[in-house]
Amino acid sequence: MLTRDAEGMRMKLDRVDHLSTELIGLDPRDIRHVFPHPTLVSIKGRNQQPLFISALLHGNELTSFRILQRLAARYKNKAPARSLLIFIGNVDAAAEGVRHLPHQPDFNRIWAKGESAYHALTADITAIAREAAPFASIDIHNNTGANPIYGCVNALRPADLQLAASFAPLGVFYLNPPTTQSIAFSHFCPAITIECGKGDDPIGLEAADRLIENTIALERFSDTPLPDDALTLYKTVGRMVVDPACSFSFGAGGTDGADGAAGGADSAGGADVQFRPDLDKLNFVDLDENTALARCRPEKRPIHVLDEHGTDITTEFIHYTDGNAHLTTKATPSMISHDPDIIRQDCLGYLMRPLNLDLPK
């Protein structure tokens, strides 16, 4: 089928009814031999209410590709216990081994209203999925920084939390950014994003595989609330971005350069902001107020914190004294990456607070 956008541009969405066994043993860079375009795979199972799985929204995050290979092998000759609806997203980026190509948007930021052909594509997939009334939705990702594995939910419902706890003992509730696949799907089914560690993390792959198989086999979600110790949940309260005009480094090492002409190294050769070299080791560590995050050139305020509406809430979280950026308050970072492309294209990472669930028991 072809999806449309306001300018009449078209993006092709292929629809197939099985996962080709050609996938098994395929190099991810060759994915277009099997899936030349974004593809929706509908596999019939004994229980017709499908599990929706979203793969390769980010082309360089390969746990979802490994899951596709496993599903292709596992269901080569038998039907799954539950139907599967699988979206295979950015195959062009996967062929290049990148998150997305320079001319493309981020495929996990196009699931809300928008005018582009990409938005038309995700609107069509969302409409097809909504019609199928999925049992649940699982979107599979990897992190670029050092993070434990964790599940993200966008609604504090027992089924969503049960999905998160069946993946990992750590969970994150977020509403920012508001344009992700799981937020869109949380409007009509339990939905989770799973962050499976770095791309080659075997723990993340096994946990993802287990979650998917358990969800396929599950008849229905439990009515009993989770035991208190089943899931430690955090709420994302801010997204940290680096001023595009500021250069940065981790430690006193080389600078990444800056997009803006105002950036660049000072006379001593340092970047405008020198993050502490172990910054990504602080992911999921509960930090006290006044924890130092970075050294900054005195006139620079390079780290900004934004809420889910894009409002600048930096002063709630960060203060600058004596050329250092410190936390104003207790906070727990997540998804901090040292990858300059991720930091420039997406963000430095997120700040969270523990969320004490007050669900009816």
Residues that bind Zn ion (CB under 5 A): 58, 61, 141
Q: How far is the CB of 181 from Zn ion (least distance, A)?
A: 10
Q: How far is the CB of 105 from Zn ion (least distance, A)?
A: 13
CB of 179 within 8 A of CB of 172? no
> Minimal CB distance to Zn ion: which residue?
141
d(CA 344, CA 304) in angstroms, rounded, equals: 13
d(CA 306, CA 86) in angstroms, rounded, equals: 33
Roughly how many angstroms between the first and final C-alpha of the chain, as a whole number? 46
Q: How far is the CB of 86 from Zn ion (least distance, A)?
A: 16
Name the residue nearer to Zn ion (CB basis): 56 or 129: 56
Name the residue nearer to Zn ion (CB basis): 294 or 352: 352
Name the residue nearer to Zn ion (CB basis): 154 or 314: 154
d(CA 119, CA 113) in angstroms, rounded, equals: 7
Distances, alpha carbon 138 to alpha carbons 112, 141, 160, 176, in Å: 18, 10, 10, 18
Name the residue nearer to Zn ion (CB basis): 226 or 342: 342
Q: How far is the CB of 292 from Zn ion (least distance, A)?
A: 29
Cα three-residue angle 239-244-250, rounded to 5 degrees: 75
Name the residue nearer to Zn ion (CB basis): 58 or 300: 58
Name the residue nearer to Zn ion (CB basis): 139 or 243: 139
Residues 6 or more apart whose Cβ sits within 8 Å of residue 179: 108, 109, 110, 111, 112
Distances, alpha carbon 264 to alpha carbons 154, 174, 251, 277, 301, in Å: 39, 34, 16, 19, 14
Name the residue nearer to Zn ion (CB basis): 108 or 274: 108
Q: How far is the CB of 142 from Zn ion (least distance, A)?
A: 6
Characterize 48-65 residue by residue with b for buried, 16 or more Cβ atoms within 10 angstroms of its Cβ, and e for exposed.
eebbbbbbbbbbbbbbbb
Type of residue numbered 354: P
Specify the 3-state DSSP secondary structure of 320: strand
Q: How far is the CB of 60 from Zn ion (least distance, A)?
A: 9
Q: How far is the CB of 100 from Zn ion (least distance, A)?
A: 10
Name the residue nearer to Zn ion (CB basis): 139 or 256: 139
Name the residue nearer to Zn ion (CB basis): 138 or 258: 138
Q: Which of 331, 324, 320 shows the shortest CA–CA distance to 287?
A: 331
Q: How far is the CB of 137 from Zn ion (least distance, A)?
A: 15
CB of 63 within 8 A of CB of 199? yes
d(CA 196, CA 210) in angstroms, rounded, equals: 12
Characterize 235-264 residue by residue with b for buried, 16 or more Cβ atoms within 10 angstroms of its Cβ, and e for exposed.
bbbbbbbbbeebbbbbeeeebbebeeeebe
Q: How far is the CB of 141 from Zn ion (least distance, A)?
A: 3
